[in-house]
């Protein structure tokens, strides 16, 4: 097949767009989709200081390259979870990448904050991925807030968003449906959160990383026995194959029609408290992360 833009031999076929691209034209397409996601949802501008959460996987490193190329003011933040082997590998990957591209990088160790993940795993009886996610979200937000960043960006892509939307819809979880989307506005000690890859699929970010020679972490976390939503992603991939473009439609129609309805319902929800220990937003007197710390210290 031939590239739609320049008629050279295509390297990438995108059924959802009924098209194919050669390598240079795919890169143009990819950067345009990132830019379009940012503009359409008013995520941030060139004046904003953006903190990007970087895990070492393809989505976050791919996004880091794209935002740098597009000329945004980006600082990377990596959270070292202290998991033997896998955390060292992820951290080394991120450090090497940022050094090679002269990108500002901060590394925050959860162990230093009293939360080494291997210890947490021993003491907490809930699935470790949800606990770990909670800890990461807390520290990403807290670091951004304390250091005066305007926005916190993450590498979540269209597939992540659609899988989450599908899970939330299956439960008709009104609070989550009201809050889901490519932008969460700043509120109290929550900084604005954005997902600039919301228009791009996992396949597309993998292609982007390959074409740019990005060395990213391939191994899964040793604690995750199948990451979140894997089953849903399979189902959605089957649907997408039968009707290309369905994922994007499901997501965009939700944002246009579904989300406003859920937000109206949620407007009556009580405001968040501040955690009695750390002062960050919480629905309880002491936030989830401080409660995990208590459990470790007990």
Partner 1 sequence: MVRVLIESTGEQREFRALKSVTQLLNRLGLKSTEVLVIRGRELLTPDRMIGHEGEIRIRHVVSRG
Q: Per rule CB under 5 A, is residue 284 in the interface with Zn ion?
A: no
Any residues with CB less than 8 A from the CB of 292 and at least 6 apart, and which? 115, 120, 124, 131, 134, 135
Least distance between partner 1 and beta carbon 209 (Å):
9
Contacts of Zn ion in 247-276 (CB under 5 A): 275
3-class DSSP state of 225: coil
3-class DSSP state of 117: helix
Answer left, alpha or beta for residue 226, where phi above 0 means left and psi between -120 and 50 means alpha: left
**Contact partner, 82, from partner 1, Zn ion, none, Cβ < 5-8 Å per class:** none
**Contact partner, 278, from Zn ion, partner 1, none, Cβ < 5-8 Å per class:** Zn ion
**Contact partner, 275, from Zn ion, partner 1, none, Cβ < 5-8 Å per class:** Zn ion
CA distance 30 to 194: 18
The two most distant CA atoms of the chain are separated, in Å, by 66
Least distance between partner 1 and beta carbon 94 (Å):
15
| Beta-sheet pairing, 151-153 with 192-194 | parallel
Least distance between partner 1 and beta carbon 140 (Å):
18
Q: Per rule CB under 8 A, is residue 136 in the interface with partner 1?
A: no
**Contact partner, 186, from Zn ion, partner 1, none, Cβ < 5-8 Å per class:** none
Among 174, 224, 263, 273, binds partner 1 (CB under 8 A): 224
Give the up-direction half-sphere exposure of residue 287: CA atoms within 13 A in the CB hemisphere: 20
CA distance 188 to 45: 21
**Best CA proximity match to 154, nearest among 274, 90, 74:** 74
**Best CA proximity match to 48, nearest among 198, 199, 194:** 194
CA distance 45 to 48: 6
Q: Per rule CB under 8 A, is residue 180 in the interface with partner 1?
A: no
Q: Per rule CB under 8 A, is residue 245 in the interface with partner 1?
A: no
Q: Per rule CB under 8 A, is residue 12 in the interface with partner 1?
A: yes
CA distance 33 to 198: 9
Only segment of 29-37, 165-173, 249-257, 289-297 that touches Zn ion (CB under 5 A): 289-297
Q: Per rule CB under 8 A, is residue 87 in the interface with partner 1?
A: no
Least distance between partner 1 and beta carbon 212 (Å):
12
**Contact partner, 25, from Zn ion, partner 1, none, Cβ < 5-8 Å per class:** Zn ion
Contacts with partner 1, residue ranges (CB under 8 A): 1, 10-13, 15, 20, 23, 57-59, 129, 159, 201-203, 205-207, 210-211, 218-221, 223-224, 226-227, 230, 233, 237, 240-241
């Amino acid at each position: 097949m031939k590239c739609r833009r320049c008629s050279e031999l295509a390297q990438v076929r995108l059924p959802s767009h009924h098209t194919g691209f050669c390598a240079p034209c795919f890169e143009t397409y990819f950067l345009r989709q990132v830019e379009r996601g940012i503009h359409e949802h008013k995520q941030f501008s060139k004046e904003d200081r953006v903190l990007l959460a970087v895990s070492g996987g393809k989505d976050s490193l791919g996004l880091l390259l794209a935002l740098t190329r597009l000329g945004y003011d980006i600082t990377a933040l990596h959270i070292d979870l202290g998991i033997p082997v896998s955390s060292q590998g992820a951290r080394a990957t991120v450090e090497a990448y940022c050094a090679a591209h002269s990108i500002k990088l901060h590394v925050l160790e959860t162990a230093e904050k009293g939360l080494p993940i291997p210890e947490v795993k021993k003491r907490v009886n809930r699935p470790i991925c949800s606990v770990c996610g909670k800890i990461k979200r807390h520290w990403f937000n807290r670091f951004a807030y304390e250091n005066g960043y305007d926005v916190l960006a993450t590498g979540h892509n269209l597939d992540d968003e659609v899988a989450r939307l599908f899970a939330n819809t299956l439960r008709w979880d009104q609070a989550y449906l009201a809050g889901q989307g490519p932008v969460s506005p700043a509120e109290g000690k929550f900084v604005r959160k954005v997902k600039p890859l919301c228009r791009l699929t996992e396949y597309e970010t993998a292609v982007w990383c390959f074409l740019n020679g990005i060395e990213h972490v391939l191994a899964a976390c040793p604690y995750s026995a199948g990451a979140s939503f894997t089953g849903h992603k399979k189902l959605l991939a089957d649907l997408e194959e039968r009707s290309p473009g369905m994922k994007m439609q499901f997501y965009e129609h939700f944002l246009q029609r579904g989300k406003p309805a859920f937000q109206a319902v949620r407007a009556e929800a009580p405001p968040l408290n501040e955690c009695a220990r750390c002062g960050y937003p919480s629905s309880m007197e002491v936030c989830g992360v401080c409660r995990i710390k208590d459990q470790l210290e007990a």
